[in-house]
Amino acid sequence: MIDLSINTKLAANILEKFITSEITRVGLKRAVIGLSGGMDSAVVCALAARALGKENVLAIRMPYSSSSPDSLEDAQKVIDATGVESLTIPITDMADPLIAQFPDMDMVRKGNILARLRMIVLFDQSVPFSALVVGTSNKSELLLGYSTIFGDSACAINPLGDLYKTQVRQLAADLQLPESILKKPPSGDLWKGQTD
């Protein structure tokens, strides 16, 4: 078995420098992050706040009507812990008119619509906040193809793209994220009970 242990302090330092250098080299100093309440987005939010300063990070929660209330609560815990700016922009009223036109739509199609709407919101809000959209996909998801093209795979930079989920867990523990996030099964929260 391959040892996927990482030096979490070194990894955090490298990722913080990556976030800072990639954002500042295009003349910006701010980041917008979709904060789901899951581990990956919580880690990215914490790293971005450390790298750029909490006032330069906008975390956006984008619940749908079937989203877990726990996700909103866990995202709020991250917002409170990091002190970043935040918005909550529900996407139900955006998604439902399209979904209603296709009563036989399966959950994957619906989930892809939600993921793409969330990215529309993030890129839209990056303009008034003068920020880059920072992605939250890890290497395990990318290798397995567990993402939506032009949805969660769309971002300006993706700091976790070279870390396996196992390594993200190590980093999350070292960053002392809330216990509820550390123990939560990974999910895109695109439909009730979905896990990856």
Backbone angle region of 27, left / alpha / beta, with phi > 0 → left and psi within -120 to 50 → alpha: left
31-107+162-178: which CATH number, 3.40.640.10, 3.40.50.620, 1.10.357.10, 3.40.50.2300?
3.40.50.620
The proportion of the chain whose per-residue pLDDT surpasses 90, expressed as a percent, equals 88
Task: Decide if pLDDT at 69 tops 60.
Answer: yes
Q: Tokens for 81? A: 């812990």
- Name the DSSP class of 157: B
Task: Decide if pLDDT at 89 tops 80.
Answer: yes
Task: Decide if pLDDT at 185 tops 80.
Answer: no
Say what angle helices 39-52 and 8-24 make with each other, to 10 degrees.
70
Domain definitions of the chain by residue range: 31-107+162-178
How many angstroms separate the most distant Cα atoms in the chain? 50
> How many residues in total does the chain contain?
196
Query: What predicted TM-score, i.e. pTM, was given to this entire model?
Result: 0.93
Query: CB of 149 within 8 A of CB of 116?
Result: no
